[in-house]
A and B are shown apart, each in its own frame.
Chain A
Amino acid sequence: MKNLLLGLIAISIISCTKDYGKVEVTYQEATAIYGDIESIRAEPLNESVRSITNPGKIYLGNDVILIGEEQEGIHVIDNSDPLHPEAVNFINIPGNREFFVKDNKIYAETYYDVVKIDISDIHLAVLDSRAEFVFQDIWKHDGQTLIGFSYKEVTTELDQDDDFYQLVLAENEIYLDFAKNIIPKSALPSSFAGSGDKVSGTANRVTYAKGYVYIIGNNSMYIVADDDQGLTTINGGSALSNLGEGMETIFPYEDNLYIGSRSAVNIFNISDPRHPEEAYEFDHASACDPVLPSDDVAYVTLRTADFSSCPGNTNSLLVLDTRNIHNIKQEGEIAMSSPYGMTIKGSELYVGEGDNGLKIFDISNKYKPELTKTISNIKAYDVIPHPTIANLILTTGPEGISQYMLNESGESLILQSSISY
């Protein structure tokens, strides 16, 4: 009798260990969009000026501001007079999210391609070169090519026994639009990833160094040569793959590429620019982390204020000693509120704190930044210095971009102009 009871209890307990209940889920339902890639390539490059509705990357040049319009192209703003910036052109680059500017040339991704566009005349952009199918594994359906997804927010209650989400997460090579379509992750260009994260600024997935364009996306890095022949895909488009999840920013400095991911800073040596070799990996707390390398030092901001897309519990500015890139040392960590982008102007480090304003550090001793000013009456997600006008900076915020002049005492910012969106 006793053994029977014990057995019954054991069976009952084991059968009662499953969790149950209701789960209501709200997500972005993605629907694949297909199009004729050749028709898209043939679209006119210059279009009439239009309003900014979904801003992306921002570039501040001598006389021009470029503002990316997510998935569509780039707004060209004449900024020869910073008090009166004026929109003068819209460069049509379908599917574009990332671009980099060097010497009046824009390097931009467009669906499966990378294009080089000459903007010597800001009123009339000219296509210089195109590398086709840099991003491999083209997805087709009925003769048309996958060119993106449309998103719709859906709220539904799931069956408690449905473990579809866990199944997909467990299969690393599966890339899904959550609700409907399952697509191999490696098949998609980086520009397709995500419908959110509309962080405007300089943090970039595209960069240029030593005559090569480097593009990070998903967990891979793609390389395109830029020479007299135009743009040429290296190694037939095969990327450096499996570099780690969550790569967010790439920044060249001397012979190295600094790649910031959500849990590490990876440094690749490009002495041979066609064959980057990983030199070092510096692991840090999980967070969103723009990296700004400078002379034997690198500044990294870790942000988790928006924890949904930047998991973790850290908000800080890290100071890394990079004199020996094979043995990077953390020299300091400064508590921040919600750090986003940053820039160096002379002996000062500007760090955008999002809704919490702007912090300016004295980096005369580059390994020991000292906070000198906190300007809290502005919103600064990213900070971009003007390349030639001293004390002129551009900040990005959720409502638009603003240009400020730092007054002579350095104590306050004087608004010059704003561009709303």
Chain B
Amino acid sequence: MQRNITLFVLVIAFSMSSALYAQKDTLDNESYDFGALGYEDYSYHDTYGFHYGFAIGIGLDDFSADTTKHLSAAHLDTYVGWRFNKKFSVTTGLGFEFNESLVSGFRFDTQFFTMHVGGRYNIFNTKYLPYVYTRLGYGFGPPQEGTIVDHDDGANYQVGVGMTFPSHKSYRYFAAIAWHQQEARGAESFIDPLGNEINTKYDIVINRLVLKLGMEFK
């Protein structure tokens, strides 16, 4: 937990220092009345109002050189949000997250349907728009007991850094690297090489690095 708090503090510190730095930046954009920052190639960044988007994410652990440590993660995220200005926006949304976990040598599969709220802060007002974000959510476990994945609900938390790419007036792409943390309590059975059943109960915290790619619409 101490490491997590350290990380959180670092991210906040980074965001604040970046914001100060950005105040000195020379903007090469022009503000428009309809709430956007426009550029010479007619690309835009919206600065006010409603927006929505989606993202897909994959776990970076799957790319580890040590294949025995590969842990799959697949995330789907949808959200709607409101931009207050060119810096701040808030979001709420629904997501689905599959995470494979490895604790005590056992691999546990978890899947959650998540409701979440969050906020985003654009660090610089540049054409390629870096940002930090955070998200708090609650994941609902599988609806049926006795399935392969059998676990309770649990809170989750996500923080990340990303980049929004300027594009068409009504949509744009973004990419982010997020750190995802999820509570998980459940049970899973395994068969050992002798054919005997091994039953486990787990109460774990999943920590996962996720690469997210998405689209955002005005």
> Which chain A positions have C-beta within 8 A of B161?
9
Contact of B26 with A by CB under 8 A: no
Q: What is the distance, in angstroms, from B203's C-beta to the closest C-beta of chain A?
A: 5
8 A Cβ contacts from B91-142 to A = 101-107
Q: 1/0 per residue A162-202: CB within 8 Å of B?
A: 11111111100011111000000100000011111100000
Smallest beta-carbon distance B179→chain A, Å: 5
Which of B194, B199, B203, B207 makes the CB contact (< 8 A) with A18?
B207
Residues in B175-218 with C-beta less than 8 Å from chain A = 177, 179, 184, 189-209
Q: How far is the CA of A2 from the CA of B105 in the complex (A)?
A: 38
* Complex contact B207–A308 (CB within 8 A): no
Docked pose: A123 CA to B4 CA in angstroms = 74
Contact between B13 and A5, CB atoms less than 8 A apart: yes
Which of B13, B104, B106 has the most chain A CB within a 10 Å cutoff?
B104
CB of A21 within 8 A of CB of B195, answer: no
Q: Is B63's beta carbon under 8 Å from chain A?
A: no
Instruction: Encode B1-43 as 1/0 by CB contact (under 8 A) with A.
Output: 0011011001101100110010000000000000000000000
A196 and B193 in contact (CB under 8 A), knowing A158-B105, A162-B105, A166-B107?
Answer: no
- Taking the complex as formed, is A8 at the interface, i.e. its CB lies under 8 A from any CB of chain B? yes
Closest CB-CB distance, A314 to chain B, in whole Å?
12
Q: How many B residues touch A, CB cutoff 8 Å?
A: 49
Which chain B residues lie closer than 8 Å to A165 at the CB level?
104-106, 190, 192, 198
Q: Does B101 lie within 8 Å of A19, measured CB to CB?
A: yes
Docked Cα-Cα span, A271 to B196, in Å, equals 36
Q: Is the CB of A193 within 8 A of B195?
A: yes
Q: Nearest residue in A to B201 (C-beta to C-beta)?
A: A24
Cβ of A141: which chain B residues have Cβ within 8 Å of it?
Answer: none
Contact indicator B68/A174 (Cβ below 8 Å): no
Asked whether B105 lies within 8 Å of A164 as measured between CB atoms, the reply is yes
A308 and B103 form a contact (CB under 8 A): no
Contacts of A162 in B (CB 8 A): 104-105
Q: Given A160-B103, A166-B102: A27 and B17 within 8 A (CB)?
A: no
- Does any Cβ of B come within 8 Å of A50's Cβ? no
Residues of chain A within 8 A (CB-CB) of B191 are 308-309, 311
Nearest CB of chain A from residue B23's CB, rounded to whole Å? 14
Known contacts A160-B104, A166-B105; A175 and B194 CB within 8 A of each other: yes
CA distance A15 to B3 in the complex (A): 8
